Structure 1
Amino acid sequence: MVNWPEALDPALLRPGRFDRQVTVPLPNQAERAAILRVHARGKTLAPDVDLDIVARATPGFSGADLANLVNEGAINAVRADRTLIEPDDLDAARDRVLLGRREASNALLPEERHAVAVHESGHALVAALCEHADPVAKVTVLPSGMTLGVTEQLPEAERHLYSEGYLTDLLAVRLGGRAAELVVFGEGSSGAANDLSGATHIATRMVRDFGLSPAVGPVGYATAHPSQLGETTEEGAPQPYSQQTQRIIDQEAARLLREAEERATGLLRDHRRALDRLSDLLVVRETVDGSAVLDVLREEQRERRPADGGTPGPASGGLPRVSSGIRVPDEEHRPDAAHAADREESAAAGGEPR
């Protein structure tokens, strides 16, 4: 078995030899739940552990990743001198599998903590204000691995197709952290490097592969090999388009990114009070779930309502519920706190690491 079929000698792939290629995809949500139950045998789970929720929060995990997650959850429980594996143990284990180990010595300076809180608050609020974005599950400013903070989004359902609206909102969310820095501090920082890299990759694929740019038109120039390992092209392989087309692709990708940044910046300026409150809350509590983000937006909405209790309008500084795209559900529809675990981006989806 090989992971890179394109690396095989073509003579080996002639009919009658090793000419059959079987692609083993990553498990879907139902399969992940079944795999988790297998690896949870012999381990004592707390009554409130729901492996279906854990499976929903682990898109893109392989069977080995899921086994590692359960084992790490058991280790967390043992370190806490508990005999039961609790949801928080699995949540922490998932973050470790995705982001790396959390080092207590990796402490941030006070001004750095505030900057990270502003950055992650930008991601979270833009996600809550965009109609097609995945709901926010958790926001943290605790450094883990190579990340200083993370905004995790939990898809409502496992997607196989991504609409233009979803991808456009995804770009805005990716650039929400940098936009928050521009709104609060008046300048960006190096903390947005990973966000910019991921957003550029998405924007380029929108133009080059998905035909979502009017300048390029309904033409796809996908250069990926048919392999589940990603989009790496063979070194030295010629591009299927000219340098002039490449220039147009670069210009269109840059346009999409500029528009996404302007949109995110506009949303955060309109909701500056919510941005300040959420960042202050993160500095104090370090980690909040998605319901806290919605609570901050609800509080801002209440403050914008006229004194007579009427429906706020644009003239009174109110927040139009539909035209603004804000998704603030009623109390009975708030996401359960137990769902506060993610995944990108992503891996179109995922967390948004700094």
Structure 2
Amino acid sequence: MSQDKKDTKKNAPFKFNSYWIYVPIIIFLLSLSLFNSGSLGTKRISKNEFFKVLKDNEVSKIVVENNSLAQIYLKEEALKKADYQKQTESVLYKSEAPFFEYNFGDLQNFENEIAKIKTESNLDFDKENIERTSMIDTIIGFLPFILLIGIWLFFMRRMSGGAGGAGGGGQIFNIGKSKAKLFDKDTKVKTTFENVAGLEGAKEEVQEIVDFLKNPGKYTALGGKIPKGALLVGPPGTGKTLLAKAVAGEADVPFFSLSGSDFVEMFVGVGASRVRDLFKQAQQKSPSIIFIDEIDAIGRARGKNSMTGGNDERENTLNQLLTEMDGFGTDTNVIVLAATNRADVLDSALMRAGRFDRQIYVDLPNINEREEIFKVHIKPLKLADDVNVKFLAQQTPGFSGADIANMCNEAALIAARNSKKAIHHQDFLDAVDRIVGGLEKKNKVITPKEKNVIAFHEAGHATVSWMLEHAAPLVKVTIVPRGQSLGAAWYLPAERMIVQTEQMLDEMCATMAGRAAEKIMFNKISTGALSDLEKVTKQARAMVTVYGLNDEVGNVTYYDSSGNDGFVKPYSEATAKKIDEEISKIIEGQYIRAIEILSLHKDKLTILADKLLEKEVIFKDDLEKIFGKRPFDKEETETNNQLPKEEKELLD
């Protein structure tokens, strides 16, 4: 810690917390309860002990307090006995205080017994009755209730935001207020549509929403009505929240931002109250925009998974949201934006026209959009001259905008780790390997026999994918362990809008080629094909049950886009048996096909595996030297020419 920070911490004023006031009060009350009896040495005794002390003529006085408790005072000569003296020395005791206390039952019986003993034994003690009432006893009696009330107030203040919150947020009555964060002219958002690369269709939709608020007369002059809501739907990381930030930066109107979970609270009715307060604030500042991120937290379909059968706070919140969205007039100029990646679970009443009039699908970026996203994220980076952004866009199919941002950051970290002055193209490729395959395990111990099996497994994938027309062309094969995998092959799949049966079968055949190569070369198979089997099983099941690409099952699909088929199979047991048979038939057929292809090219498979064992990493040029150029795709030559210098140098 620097000296400035130390001085700041030292000179910082002490902040008084209102809870500290309870500490001295509690200590005072506890002290009163402890010392109220006048001595810490007073001992409670039983009936037999009391009458023994009484008969031994050691009692000087008996004081009956409030007709229920006898306080026993001992004579001075009795206190000098060894047993009593030891007791007085071990505890704090006052000589004028009672030495014993005896809690008798009935007062009349007690007085008769001590009077009888006094007469029979000729005892000389005094007796008196007193009534003792004090404010201290009253306070001590109420002490448990005071403590319970104090604890309850403490937790209520904590749950409602604590003392000193905005607008008196420490009060329990503010718990139903909206937690939305307001962005207006005082808190301007700097994100604009220029910061959003790709997503051209989605940007046009949200730009029109901004135009609705800036120039409403342009649309209402023709009798049109301003839309009430727009729902951003898409996979995670595609830029839904980024689009909302751009709207906040461009609209120049008050922008209320919050998450769906902000409505959820343990108290009944709080969610609905926060919805009412949110829309009330938005109408007061209209024209305005409300953005609800992850709306599926409160917008799930009603009546499902209700196990308790009682009051459902989430459903009450959704009902209030539905009422508010369809309740205010069009002249208020309040538009609701929402985002979710689970549109299939949303309530149909929320999705209907009049509430969310527009559903904007934010999909994964295509190759051109990925190139634009790369250009945005590499602006702050210090790049070398060999960085090929177009090739990086080709090398990252299926990456979302968040994945690309992570890849650029990972490339910068890799370059810094290697003490480079700039980020090279190879650093980006290493970042792809790191994200897709996992961290390289340099210390993983692999025996030569296992390494040989892994090499032929990966060479089998590469060989069959090279020989099949619809399989994805190979980019790189490695037997360097990464993450949980012992080897990996990188391909450049074509970004198709639709997939035909032949294309799926070729991909499955290339996937099964790893196990087929093990069978051909060693006449044994291993557990290394687990991920391959999982992939082809999913593909085969989708062909049969989802896409209707199987002749035996026919042109039917058992896929339910609403997600309501979780507990019920939409087919009979006979159909289930047929589905299992067809899935197995498809997978085994492609496995046999892969064995046949590899058997025809066994010598080239061996050459490729030996080269892989030698270099550990091989590229597309190696396969061209062994197998020749692929005749199926003319674009491969262009893709090959875009390989970076570092990869071509590795080939030599």
Same fold (TM over 0.5): yes
Match of 1:34 in 2: 372
Ranges in structure 1 where 5+ consecutive residues have no aligned partner = 226-232, 299-325, 342-354
Alignment of 1:124 onto 2:462? yes
**Would the aligned equivalents of 1:36 and 1:51 in 2 still touch at CA under 8 Å?**
yes
Alignment of 1:206 onto 2:543? yes
Cα distance change of structure 1 residues 163 and 289 upon mapping to structure 2, 3 Å threshold: same
2:625 to 285, 288, 295: 295
**Would the aligned equivalents of 2:541 and 2:583 in 1 still touch at CA under 8 Å?**
yes
2:591 to 261, 267, 292: 261
State the distance in 1 between where 2:508 and 2:452 align: 24
Q: Counterpart amino acid of 2:586?
A: L
Q: Matched residue of 1:175: which SS?
A: helix
State the distance in 2 between where 1:283 and 1:339 align: 26
2:443 to 105, 109, 113: 105
**Would the aligned equivalents of 2:344 and 2:561 in 1 still touch at CA under 8 Å?**
no
Task: State the shift of 1:8 in Å.
Answer: 3.9
2:604 to 266, 270, 274: 274
**Would the aligned equivalents of 1:116 and 1:148 in 2 still touch at CA under 8 Å?**
yes
Q: Matched residue of 2:407: which SS?
A: helix
Q: Counterpart amino acid of 1:211?
A: G
**What does the per-residue CA deviation read over 1:71-121, in whole Å, with 9 as the maximum and x for residues that have no partner?**
111111112221222221111101111122112222422211111111000
Task: State the shift of 1:154 in Å.
Answer: 0.8
**What does the per-residue CA deviation read over 1:291-329, in whole Å, with 9 as the maximum and x for residues that have no partner?**
21222224xxxxxxxxxxxxxxxxxxxxxxxxxxx8358
Q: Counterpart amino acid of 2:537?
A: T
Q: Matched residue of 1:139: which SS?
A: strand
**Would the aligned equivalents of 1:223 and 1:239 in 2 still touch at CA under 8 Å?**
no
**Would the aligned equivalents of 2:464 and 2:510 in 1 still touch at CA under 8 Å?**
yes
Match of 1:220 in 2: 557
**What does the per-residue CA deviation read over 1:228-257, in whole Å, with 9 as the maximum and x for residues that have no partner?**
xxxxx5574323222222221111111111
Q: Which has the higher strand share?
A: 2
State the distance in 2 between where 1:172 and 1:330 align: 19
How many residue pairs get aligned? The number is 306
Task: State the shift of 1:209 in Å.
Answer: 1.9
State the distance in 2 between where 1:329 and 1:9 align: 48
Task: State the shift of 1:160 in Å.
Answer: 1.2
Match of 1:173 in 2: 510
Q: Counterpart amino acid of 1:205?
A: A
Compare relative contact order (CA 8 Å, sep 6+) and give the higher one, 1 or 2.
1
**Would the aligned equivalents of 1:291 and 1:334 in 2 still touch at CA under 8 Å?**
no
Match of 1:25 in 2: 363
Match of 2:573 in 1: 243
2:630 to 308, 327, 332: 327
State the distance in 1 between where 2:455 and 2:559 align: 37
State the distance in 1 between where 2:631 and 2:349 align: 59
**Would the aligned equivalents of 2:371 and 2:393 in 1 still touch at CA under 8 Å?**
yes
Alignment of 1:134 onto 2:472? yes
Q: Counterpart amino acid of 2:447?
A: L
State the distance in 2 between where 1:297 and 1:145 align: 30
Match of 1:92 in 2: 430
1:148 to 475, 479, 486: 486
Cα distance change of structure 1 residues 15 and 133 upon mapping to structure 2, 3 Å threshold: closer
State the distance in 2 between where 1:329 and 1:335 align: 14
Q: Matched residue of 2:392: which SS?
A: helix
Q: Matched residue of 2:539: which SS?
A: helix
Farther-moved stretch of structure 1 (112-121 vs 233-242):
233-242
State the distance in 1 between where 2:432 and 2:360 align: 29
Q: Counterpart amino acid of 1:37?
A: K
Q: Counterpart amino acid of 1:249?
A: I
**What does the per-residue CA deviation read over 1:125-183, in whole Å, with 9 as the maximum and x for residues that have no partner?**
0000112212111100011112111111113x421111211111001001000000100
Match of 1:312 in 2: none
State the distance in 1 between where 2:355 and 2:558 align: 32
State the distance in 1 between where 2:523 and 2:564 align: 42
Farther-moved stretch of structure 1 (43-52 vs 117-126):
43-52
Matches within 5 A, 1:58-73: 58-73=396-411
Ranges in structure 2 where 5+ consecutive residues have no aligned partner = 1-338, 645-652
Cα distance change of structure 1 residues 278 and 328 upon mapping to structure 2, 3 Å threshold: farther
**Would the aligned equivalents of 2:469 and 2:632 in 1 still touch at CA under 8 Å?**
no
Q: Counterpart amino acid of 1:270?
A: L
Task: State the shift of 1:266 in Å.
Answer: 0.7
Task: State the shift of 1:10 in Å.
Answer: 5.2
Q: Matched residue of 2:368: which SS?
A: helix
State the distance in 1 between where 2:643 and 2:513 align: 20
State the distance in 2 between where 1:153 and 1:222 align: 29
**Would the aligned equivalents of 2:544 and 2:582 in 1 still touch at CA under 8 Å?**
yes
Cα distance change of structure 1 residues 330 and 258 upon mapping to structure 2, 3 Å threshold: closer
Cα distance change of structure 1 residues 138 and 271 upon mapping to structure 2, 3 Å threshold: same
Cα distance change of structure 1 residues 197 and 131 upon mapping to structure 2, 3 Å threshold: same
State the distance in 2 between where 1:209 and 1:55 align: 30
Cα distance change of structure 1 residues 20 and 247 upon mapping to structure 2, 3 Å threshold: farther
Q: Counterpart amino acid of 1:63?
A: G
What RMSD, in angstroms, separates the aligned Cα atoms of the two structures?
2.5
Q: Matched residue of 2:498: which SS?
A: coil
**Would the aligned equivalents of 1:133 and 1:166 in 2 still touch at CA under 8 Å?**
yes
**Would the aligned equivalents of 1:138 and 1:340 in 2 still touch at CA under 8 Å?**
no
**Would the aligned equivalents of 1:140 and 1:286 in 2 still touch at CA under 8 Å?**
yes
Cα distance change of structure 1 residues 330 and 72 upon mapping to structure 2, 3 Å threshold: closer
State the distance in 2 between where 1:24 and 1:189 align: 41
Q: Counterpart amino acid of 1:327?
A: R
**What does the per-residue CA deviation read over 1:3-42, in whole Å, with 9 as the maximum and x for residues that have no partner?**
2234445564466445754332111111111110110002
Match of 1:183 in 2: 520
Structure with larger Rg? 2
State the distance in 1 between where 2:438 and 2:575 align: 39
**Would the aligned equivalents of 2:374 and 2:393 in 1 still touch at CA under 8 Å?**
yes
Q: Counterpart amino acid of 1:80?
A: N
**What does the per-residue CA deviation read over 1:307-354, in whole Å, with 9 as the maximum and x for residues that have no partner?**
xxxxxxxxxxxxxxxxxxx8358999746556569xxxxxxxxxxxxx
TM-score (norm: length of structure 1):
0.80
State the distance in 2 between where 1:285 and 1:295 align: 15
Q: Counterpart amino acid of 1:292?
A: D
TM-score (norm: length of structure 2):
0.44
Match of 1:323 in 2: none
Q: Counterpart amino acid of 1:161?
A: I
Q: Matched residue of 2:340: which SS?
A: coil
Matches within 5 A, 1:65-84: 65-84=403-422
State the distance in 2 between where 1:64 and 1:125 align: 33
